[in-house]
Amino acid sequence: MNYERLIAKRFLSKDKGNFSRPLIRISTCSIALGVMVVVIAVAVLRGFQNEITRKIVGFGSHIVVMPFESANNYYEQLPLVADEATVNTILAVDGVSHVQFFASKGGMVKTKDKIHGIIFKGIGSDFDSTFFKENMKEGRLFDLSGDSPSNEVIVSQRFAEKMLLNIGDKVPTYFWQNNNYRARAFKIVGIYSTNLTDFDERFVIGDMRQVQKINGWDSNLVQGYEVFVSDFDNLDRVAADVYSMLGSFLTVRTVKEENPDTFSWLDLLNANIYLILGIMMLVCVVAVISALLIMIFEKTSMIGLLKTMGATNASIRKIFVYKSVGIIAKGVLIGNAIALTLCLLQDKFAIVKLDSESYHMSSVPIDLNPWIFVLVSLVMAVACVLALLLPASYIARVSPAKAVKTE
């Protein structure tokens, strides 16, 4: 029979009117609050990182494969043969989920009163349009089924408002080619919004065959391949594997390399996670240590009595550790329950709104990955349990004779 657990459960829990009981409640609340704050903070920051990354990748891909000479110039691109054999080689790399062709060209939109520079991104029938369908505000995607290049395009809501354009309007666009301008009149058939200001203002999405025609390319020439990975955490490894499979005239660039400022900013958010975790862990540790010390001081006579009956210091320490672990477990469970409830409410109903101009999204995003709850709980619980070793060591200093005499 485990008498240490029995004493911790029955005797230490049934005392009323002592000073340790309210302190135990405070400690439980402190642990619950700490776990709740850390879980919500991590879920929000991870949700923010994932949402920004998803939107940036939606405009392009995780990895871009293009001729080495074209890697740093989006306005004058060298063509690349759309080779199915190369596509199959890339798809054979572990972690690659999809490959598609693209061709882009810099241009200028000019209306009666306004002029605005753009990047016309041309896509083909192999394009994964899920991202733009999810963010479509009105209208539809353009039709690529015809034999001739489609003049239909989709633009962002921000771009449309800035240029005073609507569904069905013509977009007079000019491209610089061979020391001369080439004009095109595209028709707006859809308006999307991602709240990514820089991307929404620059990109007009249309038929890749328009870029091929303007550049004078054959139908089998493209700007490059866009490669998607199944797990963003493996991005660098997959990029290295893809690069090793290609010829020396091709290079790869990851979405991180394409947008270094944005991803450096997102990486800084991890520092906030560690800071919040450290502060809340310190609060929980102090609360647990305080509760355990008070319990030990109040039960000094009990410690002395148990020692006179032959109990070892290790056995007595177990009694108080069992009680403290119960406090920690209760606080962790309560904190997780509250955090999960609040996260689910925010994820489903978007209760907390954001200024989309500043935060690139209209509401606080939440990452409901269960590993967030598991890892935060483990870290907080382990830190609190390890913190018990210091106050529990005081039990060895309690003299049985003095403790019983004092009582």
Average pLDDT over residues 160-184: 90
Q: Please tell me the least confidently modeled range out of 119-123, 179-183, 287-291.
A: 287-291
Q: Which band of pLDDT confidence, cut at 50, 70 and 90, is reported for residue 247? A: confident
Interval 219-229: pLDDT, tens: 999 999 999 99
Please give the Cα distance from 394 to 391 (Å, whole number): 6
Q: Which band of pLDDT confidence, cut at 50, 70 and 90, is reported for residue 283? A: confident
Interval 90-131: pLDDT, tens: 999 999 999 999 999 989 999 888 899 999 999 998 999 999
pLDDT value of position 383: 86
CA atoms within 13 A on the CB side of 371: 1
Burial of 84 (0-12, 13-18, 19+ CB in 10 A): exposed
Q: Which band of pLDDT confidence, cut at 50, 70 and 90, is reported for residue 68? A: confident
Provide the pairing of β-strand 152-156 with 80-81: unpaired
CA atoms within 13 A on the CB side of 50: 14
Please give the Cα distance from 307 to 312 (Å, whole number): 6
CA atoms within 13 A on the CB side of 188: 26
Average pLDDT over residues 200-229: 93
pLDDT value of position 324: 82
Please give the Cα distance from 167 to 282 (Å, whole number): 56
Query: Mean pLDDT, the chain, as a whole number?
Result: 85
Please give the Cα distance from 337 to 331 (Å, whole number): 10
Q: Give 286's contacts (C-beta < 8 A, 6+ positions apart).
A: none
Q: Tell me the backbone φ, ψ of residue 296, rounded to 5 degrees.
A: -65, -45
Residue with tokens 């690659």, as numbered in its chain: 96
Interval 341-388: pLDDT, tens: 999 999 999 999 988 877 888 899 999 999 999 999 998 888 888 887
Q: Please tell me the pTM assigned to this model.
A: 0.82
Is there a contact between 162 and 117 (Cβ–Cβ < 8 Å)?
Answer: no
For residue 193, pLDDT over 70 is answered with yes
Residue 269 tokens, joined:
């958010």
179: region left, alpha or beta (phi > 0 left; psi from -120 to 50 alpha): left
Q: Tell me the backbone φ, ψ of residue 161, rounded to 5 degrees.
A: -65, -40
